[in-house]
Amino acid sequence: MPYLSRIPTDQPVAFITIDDGFIKSPEAPKLLAAANVPVTLFLTIDAIRDDEPYFAALRKHGAVIEAHTITHTQLRGRSYAFQRREICGSADRLGHRYGRRPVLFRPPFGTKDATTLRAAHDCGIDAAFMWKETVHKGKVRYQEGKAIKRGDIILMHFRPAFVKDFLAALRAIHRAGLTPALLEDYIPH
């Protein structure tokens, strides 16, 4: 199973991914609607429990919901049964709540081992993801160079600075001459 931080593509695109779901910015649905760009949400079950309809609203504005475990725990080094329960349980519950079972996965903290990828595969996951850039408090941080590259996966979180972070990600993508695209549409098979 692929574990990717950049999607191999000739297209001038980059991918906005948003993790967890602990903080529900009231501006996020309006911002996604106004921006009209696709995003991938890697949601944690424990984080979304208090307001599941919030994420249903984001789906109406181009967000696709994918798996990020039940409890946001460290997976690397844990047993196969534990990892499978966290990954499959997350995908199953998200599928039940939102009408589409996730096929993509991001391990919490970006940490994984061979067991993580085997468990994810056995849970029906097509690919797992890391990232090349992170956005926090309105600043984009790069792992390589000073610009987003074609196919890069950008990591954001549902945090208090959601609006600043989202706008910073969009500006960085546009400065690089790229367009936001939906991660699911570019998964190598």
Mean pLDDT of 37-53: 96
Instruction: Give pLDDT tens digits for 109-167.
Output: 999 999 999 999 999 999 999 999 999 999 999 999 999 999 999 999 999 999 999 99
Would you say the pTM of this structure is higher than 0.85?
A: yes
Following CA atoms 159, 135, 187, 25 in sequence, which dihedral angle do they give, to the nearest 10 degrees?
A: 20
Cα separation of 28 and 43, whole Å?
15
Taking only the tens place, the pLDDT of each residue in 96-107 is 999 999 999 999
The per-residue pLDDT for 189 is 64
**Confidence (pLDDT) at 62:** 87
Question: Is 49:26 a contact under the CB 8 Å cutoff?
Answer: no
Does the pLDDT value for residue 188 go beyond 90?
Answer: no
Say which DSSP state 20 is in. Answer: E
DSSP-derived pairing of the beta strands 139-142 and 133-136 = antiparallel
CA–CA distance, 134 with 154 (Å, rounded to integer): 6
Q: Which amino acid, one-letter code, is at 74? A: Q
* Residue-wise pLDDT tens digits, 4-42: 999 999 999 999 999 999 999 999 999 999 999 999 999
